[in-house]
Amino acid sequence: MKGKRLLTCAEALAEALHEEMERDDTVFIIGEDLTAHDGIFGQFKGLSSRFPGRVIDTPISETCIVGAGLGAALTGMRPFVDMHFADFVTTAMDEISNQTAKIRYMSGGQVDVPLVIWAPDGGGVRAAAHHSQCLEAWFVHCPGLKVVVPSEPEDVKGLIKSAVRDDDPVIFFQHKKLFSLKGPVPEGEYLIPLGKGKIKKEGMDITIITYSRMVHVCMEVSEELRNEGIDAEIIDIRTLRPLDMEIIENSVKKTNHVLIAHEACLTGGFGAEISALIGERLFDYLDAPVRRIGAKDVPIPFSPPMEDHVIPGKDAVKEAVKQTLRG
């Protein structure tokens, strides 16, 4: 690893894929509208010209795209499947949940499935109900899949490279509002192990567990809370499956208060699983019940004021922190 440069999340993704395709000629990209516009977020810039024949445009059929990626993975290739929008996984659920996730188990471990399904998710871009969902909890509930949710360019690069090299299927959710976010990214070889969270800010009063875009919302809130005498610790868990419970346990034992924040709707969201694990393992360390915040349980509206009302923002996080500390 060399020095760091400022890159966007889109540029970090393109760099990671360039390095992996250079290193391993079994890596290829498949999906819709990849070559003409370098992907709809510019995330595949320069790859089709650098690696002719290995960035493959497909018809508009997620069933076929994921199915083709799975078939290629079973033959020893390492496909990177672009879902265009995370919402479109609904048209490939059989291929993902009944085939990709289960084949290693059903074959008695005889086959690897080195497949990455890349799914841009999240709201806040005024794209309405069919292009704005956070669906990560569906796939954490599906044994056999690994689920990744980065929040910044450095993590995009390190986690993408680890996902591509993994012999099990990985669903990689990348929030659409973060594509233009800039941050320092290491040059050259740089990997982050799947299943390792990161403390974004240390604190003593409350642990805020979060991921993806909500990391940035919580970080902003933590600065405002500091001015009010509240010292929050922020954990970016980065991967949901496998989950880094060690980093969560160490933090909760220190702060004795927990808030879990995600953009996905609250009911059945991954925050409920974290809350249950904390209740089972760390109950005696809690001075107040674990609190969760997420989007309201409605489809994401197109109207900007309505979307802003549905998706949790700084005010919701701040109020939830204060309610948790009040116990």
Which pLDDT belongs to residue 1? 53
Q: Which domains, ranges and CATH numbers included, belong to the chain?
A: 4-186 (3.40.50.970), 198-322 (3.40.50.920)
Mean pLDDT, to the nearest integer, of 136-149? 98
- pLDDT tier, 3 (very low <50, low <70, confident <90, very high otherwise): confident
Question: How far apart, in whole angstroms, are the C-alpha atoms of residue 296 and residue 170?
Answer: 28
Angle 153-165/9-23 helices, nearest 10 degrees?
30
Q: Quick one: residue 6, left, alpha or beta (phi over 0 = left, psi -120 to 50 = alpha)?
A: beta
Task: Clarify whether 262 is annotated catalytic.
Answer: no
Distance of CA 178 to the CA centre of its chain: 11
Q: What is the pLDDT of residues 52-98, one digit of tens each?
A: 999 999 999 999 999 999 999 999 999 999 999 999 999 999 999 99
Work out whether strand 182-186 and strand 206-210 pair parallel, antiparallel, or are unpaired: unpaired
pTM over 0.85: yes
Which pLDDT belongs to residue 193? 97
Which pLDDT belongs to residue 296? 97
Catalytic residue among 18, 37, 130, 131: 131
Work out whether strand 146-148 and strand 198-201 pair parallel, antiparallel, or are unpaired: unpaired
Which pLDDT belongs to residue 41? 78
Is the pLDDT reported for residue 186 higher than 90?
A: yes
Which pLDDT belongs to residue 39? 77
Question: How far apart, in whole angstroms, are the C-alpha atoms of residue 245 and residue 43?
Answer: 31
- pLDDT tier, 40 (very low <50, low <70, confident <90, very high otherwise): confident
Which pLDDT belongs to residue 87? 94
Q: Are 101 and 52 in contact (CB under 8 A)?
A: no
Per residue, the 3-state secondary structure of 1-35, as one string, reads: CCCEEEEEHHHHHHHHHHHHHHHCCCEEEEECCCC
Q: What is the pLDDT of residues 203-227, one digit of tens each?
A: 999 999 999 999 999 999 999 999 9
Nearest 5 degrees, angle CA 14-CA 17-CA 20? 150
Q: What is the pLDDT of residues 86-116, one digit of tens each?
A: 999 999 999 999 999 999 999 999 999 999 9
Mean pLDDT, to the nearest integer, of 171-183? 96
Which pLDDT belongs to residue 327? 79
| Whole-number Cα distances in Å, 33 to 29, 30, 42, 98 | 11, 9, 11, 27
Nearest to 138 by CA among 97, 106, 169: 97
